[in-house]
Amino acid sequence: MPCAVSRRGERVTSGRRATPARGGRVAARLAAAGVPQTLVVRDPARAPHHAGAAVVRAGFGDRRALAEALTGADRVLMVSASESEDRLDQHRSFVDAAVAAGAGHIVYTSFLGAAPDATFTLARDHWVTERYIRDSGLAYTFLRDGLYADFMPGLVGEDGVISGPAGEGAASVVAQDDIADAAVAVLLDAPAHDGAVYDLTGPRALTLAEIAAELSEVTGRRVTYRPETPTEAYRSRESSGAPRWQLDAWVSTYTAIAAGELAGVSDAVPRLTGHPATPLAEVLRRAAA
């Protein structure tokens, strides 16, 4: 969802969906701060209702509609598109529309460890998108989010087991609320963050065995971690009927953990937000409340 506004009254524009995850959290915080914004969404019926927020229909692939929506946008939050085979094309279309619209600063939600040779396949796509934004001439800030702490319960199978080829590697999982707080801090003072790249992580890196233990303690359900080999991981997921690129993404999430590429711990969340990064246990407790 696209939305453009600043503390001085300029309009902020957020791109992609204004759903509760990511974009929606940012929209709610900007509205609470009295910042006017434009929410660029595919389905206006699903957009949140906030004072001072206009809603515009535009999909990632609709460059003309996007350019109209982004015209005059001082600051643009570009929330990465849903995982798909043509995701990079969608991202390029959005950036091209922002350039055509004469938009100002673009804040892009990227991924921790984005690099051309990242083990996690989708992190490579984020690196290509970052490069495209850099080359566009737009002012930019990249927020490289770690794995979402909020999504950890979704790793658990019906048998109460987290299975994957993560070995004894660890991941510094981050709360989505912390990401939203950091994004708002950047949007409200964008010039101070021009060209910055922030790794947004939780307060410590956890192995999947430790994550399973925290899930057990908070939920009261016994959760365990069972390591798989990459071959076993592909075999156990092939029955889903997912395309090969999706299987690669799923499996490489775990192999990136095994490779130590998602274990870094940054102080960006406390520096940007003024509060400590939220531990996984607290995220789980809030969700259960």
Token digits for 92? 């390029």
pLDDT digits (tens, 9 = 90+) for 195-250: 999 999 999 999 999 999 999 999 999 999 999 999 999 999 999 999 999 999 99
Bridge partners of residue 13, in order along the sequence: 76
Residues 225, 227, 229: CA angle, nearest 5 degrees? 160
For residue 21, pLDDT beyond 80:
no
The pLDDT assigned to 17 comes to: 36
The pLDDT assigned to 14 comes to: 54
For residue 88, pLDDT beyond 60:
yes
Q: Which helix (H) or strand (E) holds 180?
A: helix 176-188
Token digits for 120? 């996690």
State the DSSP code for 153.
Answer: G
Q: Tell me whether residue 150 is exposed, middle or buried, using C-beta atoms within 10 angstroms of its C-beta: 0 to 12, 13 to 18, 19 or more.
A: buried
Q: Which of 19-28, 233-242, 248-257, 272-281 has the lowest mean pLDDT?
A: 19-28
The pLDDT assigned to 7 comes to: 25
For residue 4, pLDDT beyond 80:
no
pLDDT digits (tens, 9 = 90+) for 37-65: 988 888 888 888 888 888 888 888 788 88
Query: Across residues 99-112, what is the average pLDDT?
Result: 94
For residue 18, pLDDT beyond 60:
no
Mean pLDDT over all residues of the chain?
A: 90
For residue 93, give the nearest of 132, 139, 137 by alpha carbon.
132
**Residue 23 and residue 48: Cα distance in Å, rounded?**
10
Q: Which of 41-50, 84-93, 145-154 has the lowest mean pLDDT?
A: 41-50
The pLDDT assigned to 1 comes to: 41
**Residue 236 and residue 155: Cα distance in Å, rounded?**
14
pLDDT digits (tens, 9 = 90+) for 259-270: 999 999 999 999
Q: How many residues does the chain have?
A: 289
For residue 23, give the nearest of 44, 6, 40, 5 by alpha carbon.
40
**Phi, psi angles (nearest 5°) of residue 266:** -110, 155
What sign results for the dihedral spanned by CA atoms 160, 154, 235, 113? Answer: negative
The pLDDT assigned to 45 comes to: 83
**Phi, psi angles (nearest 5°) of residue 236:** -75, -20
Q: Which of 28-37, 49-58, 183-192 has the lowest mean pLDDT?
A: 49-58
First to last CA, the chain: 28
**Residue 30 and residue 183: Cα distance in Å, rounded?**
10
